[in-house]
Amino acid sequence: MNASYAFEPPPGDEETSLRLIPHVLRPLPPLAQEMFETFMRAFGGRAVHLNGYTYLGGGSGEPAAALEPSPYPDGRNAWEQHALPRVREICEALWSEDYEPWPLEQIAQALPGYMGEAGRGFAYTMQPLMVIAGPASALMVFLGEKLAELGDRDQLVAGLVQGVENESAARGLKLEALAPFLQASPELLAAVQAGDLAAARAAEGGEAFGAAFDAYLEDYGHGSQTWWELHTPTWGEEPGAALRLLAGYVADPERAPAAAHARSAAQREETTARCEAALADEGDRERFRALVEGAADYVFVIEGRAHWQQNCVGALRPACLALGRKLAARGALEAAEDVFHLRLGELGPLAVEPSGALLETIGARKVELAAWAGLAPPLTLGPPPEAPPAGGPPNPIALMFGGPAEDTGDPLLLKGKGASRGVVTGTARVVVSLEEAEALQPGEILVCPFTAPSWMPVFTTAAAIVTNQGGVLSHAAIEAREYGIPCVTGTEEGTRVIPDGATVTVDGLAGTVRIHAD
């Protein structure tokens, strides 16, 4: 095993003492690992690598990059008015720079600093988290005290914050807004169905569509497709997935974002009315309305942060690829994308003098990375966190990441967290990447480790979602409710236990997944 990928506990640490949660879907190559470490240090966290799989947790708690305290008391403005402008400024500076005229050595020398800048942007996305968590926690306390008779508190919270404004929903709604271009031109529609942007631009009506699509990609084409995957192309580089998604909206308007968002908002209003009707005291009803409004801001901020966290990753790609192209032109790399299989410390010397030994190392690392992609990494390293004290205040952060799954004692029954109501029986499609998820067929049930904002396309196709990780306020849960499909999160081992192609029944209220034996 290559030492650069091996798991080695930090000095004085034992593996069993670590309490870390995973935050990657697939193993990462060295440059992406170093980026992860840089980002974690920026906000006071830490990263640990095991066979390329990167875990986050622990750390000093002292951020290396921090904004001054927000002048805004509420989380929405703390994010939108205070942190977001700084994050946007960092990302736009990185992805708009023209690196091609730069000498090779200059890009290699600048890259560590750029990685630190992107890490600073990431740290700024973390700062509003605790501010926005307060109202969500207060709503959960209120529901437990005043409305326990209405059922599971977490389910109520989920229903009260679905169908609200958020960046992940906007990604779909803004793409759907381009559908009229396709409806007016069969030639353009055919090109978009094929995912061919060049053909779309050349088709009847293609010039106006191309300009509108370029504007869309300016908002949603810069971010990484999956958490931390610096090495995978963005939508801006490979727009085929976004084009095919748009064509799907035209083919089935009922599964398009606008209709789904309207249904989700209607369900939220229904849940809100049911809660208000159960509160006899007008003061309690006023308090309830204020808490729901604050909790809705939680979704707005969480999904906005997620979008810009992926932008912080994607913002590094232009410099990395420019360096890779120049190294490939010199013969130091076989392809520009091979740059992601090297470490920062290896790039500087390679920029000065090509090394045949490093070419061999890259080949070996590619083989290792492919092999590790087939592993089933542990959900966490070390013992699980201690359960909160009985009667203690709820932790909305735990509702985002989830907790241990319940052992049912039945190998054909998984018990996670019911995150979006509904019962569906269908064919399981087990995937670990967005590329694999694009092959999902209508009516199939997506089984995956977890999702990211750029996975939004699969929610228009899947009949239900099952994830290994996450709780009722995770991204998968929020977007499943947005599209009105059942979702069970936090099964821990769904991708390992559920056979691809098996028939399963997902109960998004009970939080169960039944694997049918035949």
pLDDT at 220 exceeding the cut of 80: yes
| Helices (H), ranges, 221-281 | 240-251, 257-277
**E strands, 158-228, where?**
none
SS3 415: strand
Task: Calculate what percentage of the chain has a pLDDT beyond 70.
Answer: 92
Domains along the chain with CATH numbers:
1-147+280-378 (no CATH), 149-279 (no CATH), 396-515 (3.50.30.10)
- The conformational region for residue 261 under phi > 0 = left, psi -120 to 50 = alpha, else beta, is alpha
Tell me what pLDDT residue 387 has.
62
Tell me what pLDDT residue 7 has.
35
Cα 264 from Cα 449, distance rounded (Å): 24
pLDDT at 8 exceeding the cut of 50: no
Tell me what pLDDT residue 59 has.
67
Express each pLDDT in 121-163 by its tens digit: 999 998 888 788 888 888 988 998 999 999 888 888 888 988 8
For residue 78, give the DSSP letter: I
pLDDT at 35 exceeding the cut of 70: yes
SS3 55: strand
Count CA atoms closer than 13 A to 212's CA, side-chain side.
Answer: 17
What type of residue sits at position 160? L
Task: Calculate what percentage of the chain has a pLDDT beyond 90.
Answer: 54
Sequence-ordered list of residues with C-beta below 8 angstroms from that of 429, at least 6 positions apart, any chain: 437, 439, 440, 441, 444, 445, 446, 447, 500, 501
pLDDT at 368 exceeding the cut of 70: yes
pTM of the prediction? 0.89
Express each pLDDT in 72-94 by its tens digit: 988 899 999 999 999 999 999 99
Q: What CA–CA distances, in Å, run from 384 to 12, 387, 405, 491?
A: 20, 9, 11, 15
Tokens of 15: 């593996």
Express each pLDDT in 464-494 by its tens digit: 999 998 888 888 998 898 888 999 999 988 9
Confidence of residue 315 (pLDDT cuts 50, 70, 90): very high
Angle between helices 317-329 and 344-352 (to 10 degrees): 40
Please list the residues that pair with 414 across neighbouring strands: 513
- pLDDT mean over 390-397: 62
Tokens of 316: 């590094």
From 50, 36, 46, 56, select the one nearest 4 (Cα to Cα): 50
Torsion of CA 254, 489, 268, 144, to 10 degrees: 170
pLDDT at 10 exceeding the cut of 70: no
Top pLDDT among 353 and 235 is at 235
Neighbours of 213 (CB within 10 A): 23
Confidence of residue 389 (pLDDT cuts 50, 70, 90): low
